[in-house]
């Protein structure tokens, strides 16, 4: 610990001794461009430009035909290095040659032209395609996958699966009674049981009604919408750097785990048993809040102890951006969850689940499309690219360079930045206040870099898996230029 503190002070001294007019904060890495990437940002107007003005909530209109690799081009021909990637949902960059080739293959034409009702009329090759794609990256202990269209409907139906499982467990071998069947039609118990799902402050699980009851990141998501009376536990608020606050962070996680158990007991006593616990491996929208592997392992054990299903929401963290395909792999568990939901970087949506959470009758988990075979076709090719190009290893390498750079910047700008944190390229840093954070985001965008905000005052980094160390240093130098304006 003494050595780490000394190293940090030496770094502070070194940064303070740099000339104030020094242009390059970060060394330039070898310029190993992708064959479909640009060589850097190119800004012709402020953003939004003249063709994107007065568009309400829209940031700006895009030219996706010109966008390539790590770069998003807008309608005014501004080319921006994209470290936000459509809210963390672009896996291998814009217009990847492998995906364009897939589109040009005439054998795939019917998959793109026809969108079937998968629950009743799937294509003949759909089981094989699912086996080759989604099931080839199934989380540990998961034997089944249910496809859906987006993150919210993935979580919404995962919640239904947990409730169905819980009630069937309560009934044993008994089938639903006539009273169950009649009362459910008028939204009354016992057919509509008074069960609950435990979630965490700072969580974001979606905007549909059930998901919204478990979302607690921003008031604008929830205002004026009726909700369920379900328990909400505190999520650990860790102090950084982690190595200097081991004892304090351990106490904070223990406090939160104790509160989880208390809430489960209280809600059972209130006649609203907790059927499931839902949690993100990293609370993304809520501020990139992390917890230790020990915290998640203990939470998993609490779920088992109280007979609750354990649902890990990997909608934003899944797909490789933490350096492992699933963020929960960092916990080192053979049996990490009962349900794992996904979307975004996996291009389609859905949830993996254990055999016992399979719905007991047809149409209980159902909608018209239940996903899209064409998106699964793209996913299969994305997985091929990830494996062929060792992108998870690259994410780990680029992520270290990014986090190291952010930690250096927070030493150089201690009044502005703090709490650099992350796994892989799934990184974030806090800004002194919300107003400064938003100003930094806009100024950085005008210099050709797209970033995202999260939580009360954090900046989050969500580049594609093809983001290289070269792009890291390119970003850090531009970011340093922006931060120098606030010093």
Q: What are phi and psi of 73, to 5 degrees?
A: -110, 135
pLDDT for 173 equals 72
Q: Same domain, yes or no, for 383 and 402?
A: no
In angstroms, the CA 266 to CA 272 distance is 9
Catalytic residue among 25, 163, 200, 204: 204
Per-residue buried b or exposed e for 435-447, using 16+ beta carbons within 10 Å of the residue's own CB: eebeebbebbbeb
Residue 93 lies in a domain: no
Residue 16 lies in a domain: no
What does the CA dihedral 218, 221, 225, 227 come to, rounded to 10 degrees?
-60
CA 55 from chain centre, in angstroms, equals: 27
pLDDT for 9 equals 52
> Which one of 351, 370, 387 terminates a domain?
387
Q: Same domain, yes or no, for 310 and 250?
A: yes
| Structural domain range at position 34 | 22-85+391-484
Residue 91 lies in a domain: no
Q: Same domain, yes or no, for 339 and 410?
A: no
Q: Same domain, yes or no, for 172 and 235?
A: yes
Residue 100 lies in a domain: no
Q: Same domain, yes or no, for 381 and 400?
A: no
Residue 399 lies in a domain: yes
Report the side by side order of strands in the sheet with 232-233.
144-148, 349-353, 339-342, 309-313, 274-279, 196-200, 232-233
25 is catalytic: no
Catalytic residue among 246, 335, 368, 434: 368
Q: Same domain, yes or no, for 116 and 80?
A: no
163 is catalytic: no
Q: Provide the number of structural domains found in the chain.
A: 2
CATH of the domain at 60: 3.90.1150.10
Q: Same domain, yes or no, for 373 and 407?
A: no
Q: Look up the pTM and report it.
A: 0.94
CATH of the domain at 188: 3.40.640.10
Residue 59 lies in a domain: yes
Q: Same domain, yes or no, for 147 and 33?
A: no
In this structure, what token pair is assigned to residue 387? 């494996």
Q: Same domain, yes or no, for 376 and 396?
A: no
* pLDDT tens digit at each of 487 positions of the chain: 554 544 555 555 455 545 444 457 887 666 666 778 999 999 999 999 998 876 677 899 999 999 999 999 999 999 999 999 999 999 999 999 999 999 999 999 999 999 999 999 999 999 999 999 999 999 999 989 999 999 999 999 999 999 999 999 999 877 899 999 999 999 999 999 999 999 999 999 999 999 999 999 999 999 999 999 999 999 999 999 999 999 999 999 999 999 999 999 999 999 999 999 999 999 999 999 999 999 999 999 999 999 999 999 999 999 999 999 999 999 999 999 999 999 999 999 999 999 999 998 999 999 999 999 999 999 999 999 999 999 999 999 999 999 999 999 999 999 999 999 999 999 999 999 999 999 999 999 999 999 999 999 999 999 999 999 999 999 999 999 999 999 7
Residue 15 lies in a domain: no
272 is catalytic: no
In this structure, what token pair is assigned to residue 344? 């975004």
Q: Same domain, yes or no, for 254 and 371?
A: yes
Catalytic residue among 344, 345, 375, 468: 344
> Which one of 330, 358, 387 terminates a domain?
387
Residue 453 lies in a domain: yes
Q: Same domain, yes or no, for 320 and 282?
A: yes
> Which one of 336, 352, 387 terminates a domain?
387
In angstroms, the CA 21 to CA 35 distance is 34
344 is catalytic: yes
Q: Same domain, yes or no, for 275 and 419?
A: no
């Amino acid at each position: 610990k003494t050595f780490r503190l000394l190293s940090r002070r030496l770094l502070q001294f070194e940064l303070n001794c740099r000339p104030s007019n020094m242009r390059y904060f970060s060394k330039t890495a070898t310029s190993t461009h992708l064959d479909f990437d640009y060589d850097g940002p190119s800004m012709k107007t402020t953003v939004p430009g003249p063709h994107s003005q007065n568009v309400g909530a829209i940031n700006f209109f895009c030219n996706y035909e010109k966008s390539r690799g790590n770069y998003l081009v807008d309608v005014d021909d501004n080319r921006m290095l994209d470290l936000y990637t459509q809210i963390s949902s672009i896996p291998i960059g814009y217009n990847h040659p492998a995906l364009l080739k897939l589109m040009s293959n005439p054998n795939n034409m019917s998959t793109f032209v026809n969108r079937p009702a998968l629950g009743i009329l799937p294509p003949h090759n759909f089981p094989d395609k699912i086996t080759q794609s989604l099931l080839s990256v199934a989380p540990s202990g998961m034997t089944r996958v249910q496809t859906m269209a987006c993150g919210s409907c993935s979580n919404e139906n995962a919640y239904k699966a947990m409730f169905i499982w819980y009630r069937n467990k309560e009934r044993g071998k008994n089938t639903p009674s006539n009273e169950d069947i009649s009362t459910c039609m008028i939204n009354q118990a016992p057919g509509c049981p008074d069960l609950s799902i435990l979630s965490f402050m700072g969580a974001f699980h979606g905007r549909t009604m059930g998901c919204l009851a478990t979302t607690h990141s921003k008031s604008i998501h929830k205002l004026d919408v009726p909700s369920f009376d379900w328990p909400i536990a505190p999520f650990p608020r860790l102090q950084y750097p982690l190595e200097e606050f081991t004892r304090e962070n351990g106490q904070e996680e223990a406090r939160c785990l104790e509160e989880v158990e208390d809430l489960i007991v209280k809600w059972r006593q209130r006649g609203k048993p907790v059927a499931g616990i839902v949690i993100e491996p990293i609370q993304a929208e809520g501020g990139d809040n992390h917890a230790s592997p020990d915290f998640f392992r203990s939470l998993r054990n609490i779920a088992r102890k109280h007979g609750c299903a354990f649902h890990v929401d990997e909608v934003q963290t899944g797909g490789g951006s933490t350096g492992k395909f699933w963020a929960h792999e960092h916990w080192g568990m053979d049996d990490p969850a009962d349900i794992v939901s996904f979307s975004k970087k996996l291009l389609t949506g859905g949830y993996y689940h254990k055999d016992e959470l399979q719905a007991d009758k047809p149409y209980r988990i159902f909608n018209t499309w239940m996903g899209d075979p064409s998106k699964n076709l793209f996913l299969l090719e994305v997985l091929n690219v990830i494996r062929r190009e060792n992108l998870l290893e690259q994410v780990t390498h680029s992520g270290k360079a990014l986090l190291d750079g952010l930690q250096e910047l927070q030493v150089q700008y201690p009044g502005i930045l703090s709490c650099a944190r992350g796994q892989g390229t799934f990184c974030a840093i806090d800004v002194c206040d919300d107003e400064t954070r938003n100003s930094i985001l806009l100024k950085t965008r005008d210099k050709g870099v797209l970033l995202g905000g999260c939580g009360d005052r954090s900046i989050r980094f969500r580049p594609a898996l093809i983001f290289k160390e070269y792009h890291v240093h390119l970003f850090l130098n531009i970011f340093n230029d922006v931060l120098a304006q606030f010093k």
